[in-house]
Structure 1
Amino acid sequence: MTWSNQEWWPDLLRLDVLDDNTAETNPYGEDFDYDEEFEQLDLDEVKSDIEDVMTDSQDWWPADYGHYGPFFIRMAWHSAGTYRTADGRAGASGGLQRLPPESSWPDNVNLDKARRLLQPVKKKYGKKLSWGDLIVLAGNVALESMGFETYGFAGGREDAFKSNEAVEWGPETEWETTSPERFEGDAEVGALKNPLANTVMGLIYVNPEGPYGEPDVEGSAKNIREEFSRMAMDDDETVALIAGGHTFGKVHGADEPEEHLGPEPEAAPIEEQGLGWDHDFEEKPGMITSGIEGPWNDTPTQWDMGYIDNLLEHDWTSVKGPGGAWQWRPVGDDVDYAPGAQDSSETEEPMMLTTDVALKHDDDYREILERFQENPDEFQEAFSRAWYKLLHRDMGPPERYLGPEVPNETFTWQDPVPDAEYELVGDEEIAELKEELLSSELTRSQLVKTAWAAASTYRDSDKRGGANGARIRLEPQRSWDVNEPDELETVLETLQAIKEDFNGSRADDVRISLADLIVLGGNAAVEEAAAAAGYDVTVPFEPGRTDATQEQTDVESFEVLEPKVDAFRNYLGGESDDLYDYPEERMIDKAELLNLSVPELTVLVGGMRTLGATYRDTSRGVFTDEPGTLTNDFFVNLLDMGYEWEPVDEDREIFEVCDRETGDLEWEATRLDLIFGSNARLRATADAYFADDAEEQFVEDFVDAWHKVMSLDRFDLE
């Protein structure tokens, strides 16, 4: 076996995650348009085909109770449920459950079989129906086939064909383990470090047996609240999801998994053809998945109040089940038994997980359970909305949603922006506004930083953030330290005055939004800075952004977009609660979320430095005598061997740049500057921009990369 560079040098900065932003991994080709393909589907026909599969029990993997519905619900839930708000990564988009590591997570045991059962449907519709959409749709059809009315379904999840290596799943090196580095507090009951959302490596959420594999209901409730909040779910949504999901099906622990289960799909023999977890347990019912055994109620394929009634109306005691795991059985014999999963003439006693009993013992969760029990219609409504949010949270704004079952309602968690009910500015008005912006009291640096602050909140992972909506003027963004609130207030007041003067002077219906004006101001400053360096460039500008209201903005939800580090503005931040050791690691993480390549990252950092667009206008990293002029001086001076670099603090975050001959202090720098000379690949890219004949290419590449970031959230232009 040949070792990779990462194995030779484990501390090497990972840049390969940015390569996926330029590589073509889709076998359908670069001209493939999934949206167009999906719109050709007859969704009713697709759902009918899925329902046919649902009740056609296969000998090679027999359905519990003759119905695959609960199995498909688990598949859809475990696909969408990986989403976490901290970085917007994972979730159902991309169909990532069919790729490692999710394909082989211990919590996904036997979901490879669920996807294989749906293979005939995928074969029939081919590229018109992605696995990402099919998995989610199967969960909806399963609920509907068992008597539940779902809130809707939206297509539009184009498949990935390569694992997302940018997702940080945790510091552990073994499945189903937990290290102290995963938490800020005590392991398994403390605050998770960002960007994590699951409390145990390889589990979707929390340990169903309880923290440390013990039946600790208090600790389990704390973990549930911590974890579900990291999916942007409140207490009502959390209880609705758990109670609604556990209304159906059962868990499988006929015996101890480690005694009988074979290797996971990614470690299985080649003849298994991508299937894993082969088992040699021959006794009926013969299923081993979680190691916990039993249904939650006596009607496992029917939407009803059985789960909530059982949980609240019976006392439960912890026991070790046949799979060797902690589970809970009812006290007494007055509980209704469920039919056998494979033989309806047999019966099986209902059980509860520690995570179920935890809901009953937590005062706030119990109050919600009791309210749902008294108001079944409210429970139905709450679960339908929470389920819809769970499945669609990672899809971004509603204009990306496809199909006839998309609800008319727009939700705050979709970060809505209003429609532009006016005529957009044209070339003449754009030129007039640029002149007004550049003749105002605002500096190039202020215009650039404000545009960057607005646009760079975008995350390609879940399509959140960006300049559209002008949310930089709203809470929480206007108060973020990285945005320099006092200076930002001054800039926004000036921009607002320009907007009002322009809109108020028009006799026609042409208007400019503040969101458009913020971007236009940055563009104008870049053009003027390039002109000062001797280059005539035009930054493309497409109007159409609108201004959201504070009521359309979920403050708590947007807090997670606040940068801990911003390499582009040379902002190091303060104490961090995440897993990253060095600022440059956060730089790469942000570049991946912005869908940037290594060259795009490089030119943007270099250009922002020479533009003087640094946090609090510090001179750190501004390696030029002409700040505000778009030159390649950052690279010229960074790579100049006439200088030497020395750290000035124990953290080795701040450095002094001195003349080698005289010892005179020339500049200050941060790790976010020096990494472009230290890391071999970044230095190789910087080499392309520091040469005497490279400046024009640098300016052109900066303009292209700048426009890309300013336009990342313009789904209306796609």
Structure 2
Amino acid sequence: MDAKTGSISGGCPFHGDGGTRGLLGRTNRDWWPDQLELGILKEDGRRADPHDPDFDYAEAFNTVDYNALKADIKALMTDSQDWWPADYGHYGPFFIRMAWHAAGTYRTGDGRGGASSGQQRFAPLNSWPDNGNLDKARRLLWPIKQKYGKNVSWADLFVLTGNVAIESMGGPVFGFGGGRADVYEPEMVYWGTEEEWVDEGVETRILPDEGKALENPLAAIQMGLIYVNPEGPGGNPHDAEGMARDMRETFARMAMNDEETVALTAGGHAFGKCHGAKPSETFGKAPEGSNLHSMGFGWLTDPEEIGKGHITTSGIEGAWTPNPTQWGGDYFRLLFKYDYELTESPAGAKQWTPVNPDPEDMAPDARDPSKKVPTIMTTADMALKRDPEYRKISERFLNDQAALDDAFARAWFKLTHRDMGPKVRYMGPEVPEEDLIWQDPTPAGTQPSDSDVSSFKSKVLDSGLTVAELVKAAWASASTYRNSDHRGGANGARVRLAPQKDWAVNDPEELSKVLSKLDEIRGNLSMADAIVLAGAAAIEKAAKDGGHSVSIDVTTGRGDAGEEHTDAESFEPLEPFADGFRNYLKTKSQVKTEEMLIDRAHLLGLSIPEMTALVGGMRALGAVSKHARHGNAIGVLTDRPGVLSNDFFTNLLTMDTRWDVVDESGDEEFVGKDRKTGEEKWHATRTDLVFGSNSQLRAVAEVFAENGGEAKFVETFVSAWTKVMDADRFDIRCARYHK
């Protein structure tokens, strides 16, 4: 149990509970075996994205008449359609749920999920039980998307529509940043290994009595949920302690603290209602498994019943407040005014109803305002009253509406923007001026002169620091970048701050020595620039020693972040459990080590040749972790470490060497012996040998190892290295949009 958060430790970030799992767990093909297979059309590098490769979405978004777009969305709020009528004549609550569930898949463990690419349109998210009937919300938005075309992405439209919905009902909004570019196929994300959706079984991912914790990087408490089971852990409404535990754990893994959790729950539930008018067996399959003529719709019921409000989504039935389309303090007022009794919805879901409510505290019927029905609370809502810490926050909001207004607006903004990365990526006229700590703000840097850079590089090479030490420090700084949520990277030089400076993968003692020397000789350069340029100087020397003249054209002008700019706790999930590029593995996992290399390469935005060249190059340079469980220099398959050569590939692929498992390593470490003499020549890991054993990776390794291939290897390595070093330079790439 974590003493600070009260959460149960998840242990190994890739730890499973039942045998070795694949990197992706259950895939769309597992859930829908008859799904139309389009992969053949993406062979040979063909793109699924219909836009031109040079299409600039941020530039397109900045041409939109933003006020007209918001006016169109606002008009839609009360334009009720016969095929899916609006509850209370207002689609606002429906669209808030759509935006919330688009953003709420974000998790801090790997930065994946979230609203930034419009993934809600694709399986499995489009068919999760928790996303029931949101297919209709997206179809309601289609005329607006069609009107604005490529200038407004679905991803931006989801979030902006949620904002407009809140505003249209009098709620507080902190701001909006556009710039989320759509993807056109499902992203490869690990959602879990369970074989049942939440509405088909009650198994929860936290079972403390059985020692079962929530597996990282997952955040949702059950397969098919966005957050928690609203009826209680595993559907048990009486487990008050477990309900609060689940909420605290899952919201924390989505970057929310207790106050933000309470504000979001109360603020979101100030609007709209739950739907559980009929048993779930009365409606059809989810969109991905529905019949062809349903045209992408799922969960269909009798069309005549829809107009009467006979809809089931969560199974819970009822509104939280007597004013479901108006922002205010009714949610907390009712929560604390009444005792609640456990009841069942018409669909059989467990929910809580106030005892003897006053008539004025009852809600209007969603389709007939002349009728009054009791309000409800879910077991998750009741946790805000039952849990001591949540209750303190709730009582404060009960008595201070302005505090709730501000907390909800800020938490909603964080929820819908957490995966966008640095603020410079935000587009549009409603981007807040205030810098927020979760945006990882970095002070602007100063562009050094060419002479400053040249002088510094010369000093670096005369500093006594080795090529391996300089390369490792630069990699430690830049390779934290994740293209999932655009966090991490070299800008800010946070590698010299907690917690990054103390990560075992970074060889803290060596790193401290390197950073101290660079600080001593950097002159007018920022530390962020000095670290990257030192790595560049080392590689240029290593290439020259190998007979190749290269120039590492990394950008400069980075700024240095301080502790006041850094939420150290939020950077903890960026610590690599495994970094195959440095041949580091903290401890053996149920996920294959080579799969974790692929995962890390994906987060860095690398192609197969780029990943292959970086691994081979860093081995040749001797840039492996001293704190790997395998020991220093493992995987360095060269007699001349520190020289940028293709020796790793030539020595890996030669038939002169026979590889055997080192018995005590549990198939993680291998020894290479001379086939004729039996003499030990090399030691390597799974991450090394996969480039000889996997047919696709071997095909690329052979290109780098063949005669004449060394030049191609060096070229690819330099390009990939520069890509990683500059991955987070949005301050440069986005500058022209803010002029």
Instruction: Kindly indicate whether the alpha-carbon contact (under 8 Å) linking 1:619 and 1:667 is maintained by their aligned counterparts in 2.
Output: no
* Aligned-pair CA distance for 1:513: 0.6
Amino acid aligned to 1:619 = A
Instruction: Kindly indicate whether the alpha-carbon contact (under 8 Å) linking 1:467 and 1:519 is maintained by their aligned counterparts in 2.
Output: yes
Question: Deviation per CA, 1:243-265, whole angstroms, max 9, x where unpaired?
Answer: 000000000000111x2111111
Instruction: Kindly indicate whether the alpha-carbon contact (under 8 Å) linking 2:204 and 2:222 is maintained by their aligned counterparts in 1.
Output: no
Does residue 192 (structure 1) correspond to residue 214 (structure 2)? The answer is: yes
Question: Deviation per CA, 1:302-359, whole angstroms, max 9, x where unpaired?
Answer: 0011111111111112222111111111122336111110111122110111101112
Superposition pairs of residues 685-700 of structure 1, within 5 angstroms: 685-700=700-715
Name the CA distance, whole Å, in 1 between partners of 2:612 and 2:332: 55
1:320 counterpart residue number = 344
Does residue 135 (structure 1) correspond to residue 158 (structure 2)? The answer is: yes
Of residues 284, 290, 314, the one that matches 1:262 is: 284
2:595 counterpart residue number = 585
Superposition pairs of residues 55-454 of structure 1, within 5 angstroms: 55-165=78-188, 167-176=189-198, 182-183=205-206, 185=208, 191-215=213-237, 216-257=239-280, 259-280=281-302, 284-334=308-358, 336-420=361-445, 422=446, 424-454=447-477
Q: So what's the TM-score if we normalise by structure 1?
A: 0.93
Q: SS of the residue aligned with 1:393?
A: helix
Name the CA distance, whole Å, in 2 between partners of 1:13 and 1:141: 38
Of residues 625, 628, 647, the one that matches 2:642 is: 628
* Aligned-pair CA distance for 1:13: 7.8
Instruction: Kindly indicate whether the alpha-carbon contact (under 8 Å) linking 2:616 and 2:648 is maintained by their aligned counterparts in 1.
Output: yes
Name the CA distance, whole Å, in 2 between partners of 1:105 and 1:271: 21
Amino acid aligned to 1:134 = L
Point out the more displaced range, 333-342 or 52-61: 333-342
Instruction: Kindly indicate whether the alpha-carbon contact (under 8 Å) linking 2:172 and 2:408 is maintained by their aligned counterparts in 1.
Output: no
Instruction: Kindly indicate whether the alpha-carbon contact (under 8 Å) linking 2:22 and 2:591 is maintained by their aligned counterparts in 1.
Output: no
Q: SS of the residue aligned with 1:318?
A: strand
Name the CA distance, whole Å, in 2 between partners of 1:339 and 1:156: 39
Question: Deviation per CA, 1:465-485, whole angstroms, max 9, x where unpaired?
Answer: 000000000001001011111
Superposition pairs of residues 469-480 of structure 1, within 5 angstroms: 469-480=492-503
Point out the more displaced range, 261-270 or 239-248: 261-270
Instruction: Kindly indicate whether the alpha-carbon contact (under 8 Å) linking 1:14 and 1:588 is maintained by their aligned counterparts in 2.
Output: no
Instruction: Kindly indicate whether the alpha-carbon contact (under 8 Å) linking 1:474 and 1:550 is maintained by their aligned counterparts in 2.
Output: yes
2:6 counterpart residue number = none
Q: SS of the residue aligned with 2:117?
A: helix
Superposition pairs of residues 606-617 of structure 1, within 5 angstroms: 606-616=616-626
Name the CA distance, whole Å, in 2 between partners of 1:20 and 1:491: 44
* Aligned-pair CA distance for 1:217: 2.0
* Aligned-pair CA distance for 1:641: 1.5
* Aligned-pair CA distance for 1:183: 5.0
Does residue 598 (structure 1) correspond to residue 611 (structure 2)? The answer is: no
Does residue 465 (structure 1) correspond to residue 475 (structure 2)? The answer is: no
Q: SS of the residue aligned with 2:136?
A: helix
Distance 1:49 1:602, change over 3 A: same
* Aligned-pair CA distance for 1:446: 0.5
Name the CA distance, whole Å, in 2 between partners of 1:595 and 1:273: 34
Distance 1:23 1:431, change over 3 A: farther
Distance 1:612 1:646, change over 3 A: same
Q: So what's the TM-score if we normalise by structure 2?
A: 0.91
Name the CA distance, whole Å, in 2 between partners of 1:119 and 1:282: 23
Instruction: Kindly indicate whether the alpha-carbon contact (under 8 Å) linking 1:644 and 1:658 is maintained by their aligned counterparts in 2.
Output: yes
RMSD (Å) for aligned C-alpha atoms: 2.0
Distance 1:13 1:210, change over 3 A: closer
Name the CA distance, whole Å, in 2 between partners of 1:554 and 1:159: 29
* Aligned-pair CA distance for 1:584: 1.2
Name the CA distance, whole Å, in 1 between partners of 2:204 and 2:721: 37
Name the CA distance, whole Å, in 2 between partners of 1:621 and 1:156: 42
Instruction: Kindly indicate whether the alpha-carbon contact (under 8 Å) linking 2:23 and 2:190 is maintained by their aligned counterparts in 1.
Output: no
Superposition pairs of residues 486-635 of structure 1, within 5 angstroms: 486-499=509-522, 502-503=523-524, 512-574=525-587, 581-616=591-626, 618-635=632-649
Aligned identity (percent) is 54
Distance 1:480 1:598, change over 3 A: same
2:683 counterpart residue number = 668
* Aligned-pair CA distance for 1:717: 2.7
Give the unaligned 5+ runs of structure 2: 1-19, 26-38, 734-739
* Aligned-pair CA distance for 1:429: 2.4
Q: SS of the residue aligned with 1:394?
A: helix
